[in-house]
Chain A
């Protein structure tokens, strides 16, 4: 349990301590054991069938889902009342991370346990849960989620699927087409969004055998080829009225809340995938010789290995810090609260900003990692004989689904500003303070006795830089800022990287007292390597935003402020990277 419960986005205006963050080093025996069971299951039962899975085999996938069911891997998020385990998010994320090694099958698993099952868990009635949840937990049935349409994606509420009550009042007749439905080809139950009377956005639980529902052909995809992706076509699909999920006109709540968790979990799977890809690359770098020596002995390769390791360290720190935040918040809700899941949703919603951060940061971390992994393999990376090209293709979708990274970026400052206007976070006040400090010279001395004193000072400054940019933007554009997307994207990049640097620093600081000397050195190196890169990203984003917002003297003042607040003394950077690379090359894997 953290020392303090933080509000969503509060990290941007306050100092966070190491005791406030949950880290992978804090896992309980049970959490580790669940991670191990998941990992062993994937290695022994899924990986040997990878080739067959890649050719899309419904029966094999369905059988593996039943095996997941036997082990309890489908009951992590389900309530105890219905035979589920109702485990915390840290456990759920760890299982997701371990599952990523299953490649395409992890997509099947994630869609089923995430967007497939969560709408029912969060919004289902007793009868609906009683009828379907058992089957979904044993893997007897597979679930899918149908939001996107051929003409609407990010603008989900622009859906044109309709639901019309039948004359006898017993059925809704659903019409329309749903696009890119994961598990579409072999799912047994679909959560489908459609507009009642063409205007009230509403969710329905629709069984596969429903009259009027048909499944389209499989999409020919670039990656995750072993997962099923089809259209779902509704032609007067006859859905019993008791299968309406939640309330009429409240479908958007279901759609978006479920996506929040999905985004968060995507961060965990991306982290797992990156670890696996990096491990392969390091092994290869140790084997492959050039000029008579293993390529791992070259600085050019070592730098890649160090950067990958540092970025994954940050990514892992982000995911589990967020898990801890959400778990602490959800733990404050008594289980016997009437409308438990309503309070639960509010808890999730509280961290929608951090969930978007996890989605964007981890998916882009993975993109960078697979790109460098392929590069380490050289020409062989471009062939299908080695795993690099598969990692490369499979990665790409992560920056698109569960809300594109653009949509997620926009959501970050958008939500922050909305909350500030509502008075939930004192953004205005803090921005004023940041402007004041911009005007006054700094005489602060670093306290070297504190671990990561340089990085902590940097974080305090970066937060000021963010506040100055956010403050300037709102001052200039007022509430029209929400339409200035280029500025919002830049602000998002700042918020994302600040959260990531902070997560990495606090985790490393928490590790130090109990870890060995070599591990300590590695953690310090990872922090330095990551903080340097991420700080440069914040600085670039800040400068870009300054040019977008201001001109003349005010611009000059902003730029000077940015220069001051993004100053980071990374003395020893090269040695830090070499240390980190050496440790990873010796271990032949991601080392934390």
Chain B
């Protein structure tokens, strides 16, 4: 069995963000970066599957981005992945989900993976599209936002999280792709011995330019902070007057009565 995990490096969400000079993304200088939280669930699930199968599957972990992407790749290796692939792209934040998925597909096509795990979405862009587009490009079935995963005899049974807290159970034959949601598992801490062992594992460096260029389909034209909302309104008068006024406001400003 061959497993692929796609991970992304994102800024620490407790950082103070500033809009960049071009006004279309956040300023990346002086930020602390870490592995996207949902991707940690993806790595953990891959490692658990490998452990369940007695260590037989080989896990490849791939990430697109600049130099610093080596860090989360090393972490994934320390958590138990076998080899890393760094698709070097200094400008990956300018690529839309379609381009990112296309790059990943170009890489993954060669590997004929049986199971692919990605995070449900990234904590910075949050498009939640890359996993699904990647599956489409590879012609694989995909199941999104999984919160439970079990494997038996070539078939996977997953639990999905639906709107309003509902759950569904889905069975999929392999190969297939899964996007991982909070609650799927508890990612392990990389232990110190494993961190040191990971140093000896290979990270293959390929360039984004080694793959055919795909045109972007969506452009982030502007990034800005929402304008400050107006101040609250205090209604006065007796209860009847107040409720009448409230209904009027709701009719004009909201869709409650439509």
Contact indicator A586/B16 (Cβ below 8 Å): yes
B14 to chain A, nearest CB (A): 9
Interface members, chain A 578-592 (any B CB < 8 Å): 586-588
Chain B minimum-CB-distance residue to A83: B193
In whole angstroms, how far apart are the Cα atoms of A516 and B28 in the complex? Answer: 10
A34 within 8 A of B: yes
Contact indicator A33/B75 (Cβ below 8 Å): yes
A241 within 8 A of B: no
Contact indicator B30/A33 (Cβ below 8 Å): no
Given A33-B78, A586-B16, A587-B16, A85–B192 Cβ distance below 8 Å?
yes
In whole angstroms, how far apart are the Cα atoms of A338 and B178 in the complex? Answer: 55
Interfacial chain B residues near A32, Cβ < 8 Å: 71
Contact indicator B74/A71 (Cβ below 8 Å): no
Interfacial chain A residues near B193, Cβ < 8 Å: 72, 75, 85
Per-residue 0/1 for B186-218: is the Cβ within 8 Å of any A Cβ (1 yes, 0 no)? 000111111110110000000000000000000
Interfacial chain A residues near B196, Cβ < 8 Å: 30, 85, 87
In whole angstroms, how far apart are the Cα atoms of A564 and B245 in the complex? Answer: 78
In whole angstroms, how far apart are the Cα atoms of A515 and B192 in the complex? Answer: 29
**Partner pick for B192 among A71, A518, A519, CB 8 A cutoff:** A71
In whole angstroms, how far apart are the Cα atoms of A516 and B190 in the complex? Answer: 31
B168 within 8 A of A: no
Interface members, chain A 5-42 (any B CB < 8 Å): 29-30, 32-34, 36-37, 40-41
A235 within 8 A of B: no
Contact indicator A30/B195 (Cβ below 8 Å): yes
Taking A33-B78, A72-B191, A72-B194 as known contacts, 14 extra A-B pairs with beta carbons closer than 8 A to each other, sorted by chain A number, are A29-B71, A29-B74, A30-B195, A30-B196, A32-B71, A33-B74, A36-B34, A36-B75, A40-B189, A70-B191, A71-B191, A85-B192, A85-B196, A518-B29
Interface size on B, residues (CB 8 A): 19
B175 within 8 A of A: no
Interfacial chain A residues near B194, Cβ < 8 Å: 72
Between A and B, 6 residue pairs with Cβ closer than 8 Å are A30-B196, A30-B198, A37-B190, A70-B191, A518-B29, A587-B16
Contact indicator A37/B30 (Cβ below 8 Å): no
Per-residue 0/1 for A499-521: is the Cβ within 8 Å of any B Cβ (1 yes, 0 no)? 00000000000000001101100
A165 within 8 A of B: no
Contact indicator A34/B195 (Cβ below 8 Å): yes
B97 within 8 A of A: no
B70 within 8 A of A: yes
In whole angstroms, how far apart are the Cα atoms of A515 and B29 in the complex? Answer: 8
In whole angstroms, how far apart are the Cα atoms of A32 and B68 in the complex? Answer: 12
Given A30-B199, A516-B30, A519-B30, A37–B189 Cβ distance below 8 Å?
yes
Interface members, chain A 28-69 (any B CB < 8 Å): 29-30, 32-34, 36-37, 40-41
Interfacial chain A residues near B34, Cβ < 8 Å: 36
Per-residue 0/1 for A66-91: is the Cβ within 8 Å of any B Cβ (1 yes, 0 no)? 00001111011000000001010000
**Partner pick for A72 among B16, B74, B192, B199, CB 8 A cutoff:** B192
Interfacial chain B residues near A29, Cβ < 8 Å: 70-71, 74
Interfacial chain B residues near A33, Cβ < 8 Å: 71, 74-75, 78, 190, 195
In whole angstroms, how far apart are the Cα atoms of A586 and B196 in the complex? Answer: 36
Interfacial chain A residues near B199, Cβ < 8 Å: 30
In whole angstroms, how far apart are the Cα atoms of A40 and B190 in the complex? Answer: 10
Interfacial chain A residues near B192, Cβ < 8 Å: 34, 37, 71-73, 75-76, 85, 87
A365 to chain B, nearest CB (A): 23
In whole angstroms, how far apart are the Cα atoms of A73 and B194 in the complex? Answer: 12
In whole angstroms, how far apart are the Cα atoms of A29 and B71 in the complex? Answer: 6
Interface members, chain B 40-76 (any A CB < 8 Å): 70-71, 74-75
Interfacial chain B residues near A73, Cβ < 8 Å: 192
Interface members, chain B 75-123 (any A CB < 8 Å): 75, 78
In whole angstroms, how far apart are the Cα atoms of A87 and B191 in the complex? Answer: 14
B205 to chain A, nearest CB (A): 14
B230 to chain A, nearest CB (A): 22
Q: Which 6 A-B pairs have the closest CB atoms?
A: A72-B192, A516-B29, A72-B191, A29-B74, A33-B195, A72-B193
Interface members, chain A 477-527 (any B CB < 8 Å): 515-516, 518-519
A320 to chain B, nearest CB (A): 18
Interface members, chain A 550-588 (any B CB < 8 Å): 586-588
A525 to chain B, nearest CB (A): 15
Chain A minimum-CB-distance residue to B75: A33
Interfacial chain B residues near A70, Cβ < 8 Å: 191
**Partner pick for B195 among A37, A40, A516, A586, CB 8 A cutoff:** A37
Interfacial chain A residues near B30, Cβ < 8 Å: 515-516, 518-519
In whole angstroms, how far apart are the Cα atoms of A71 and B188 in the complex? Answer: 10
Chain A minimum-CB-distance residue to B186: A44
Interfacial chain B residues near A72, Cβ < 8 Å: 191-194
In whole angstroms, how far apart are the Cα atoms of A75 and B34 in the complex? Answer: 25
Given A30-B199, A33-B195, A41–B71 Cβ distance below 8 Å?
no
B81 to chain A, nearest CB (A): 14
In whole angstroms, how far apart are the Cα atoms of A586 and B199 in the complex? Answer: 36
Interfacial chain B residues near A519, Cβ < 8 Å: 29-30
Interfacial chain A residues near B78, Cβ < 8 Å: 33
In whole angstroms, how far apart are the Cα atoms of A73 and B193 in the complex? Answer: 9
Chain A minimum-CB-distance residue to B74: A29
In whole angstroms, how far apart are the Cα atoms of A586 and B18 in the complex? Answer: 11
In whole angstroms, how far apart are the Cα atoms of A497 and B81 in the complex? Answer: 47
Interfacial chain B residues near A87, Cβ < 8 Å: 192, 196
B51 to chain A, nearest CB (A): 16
Chain B minimum-CB-distance residue to A588: B16
Chain A minimum-CB-distance residue to B194: A72
B80 to chain A, nearest CB (A): 14
In whole angstroms, how far apart are the Cα atoms of A34 and B198 in the complex? Answer: 12
B52 to chain A, nearest CB (A): 21
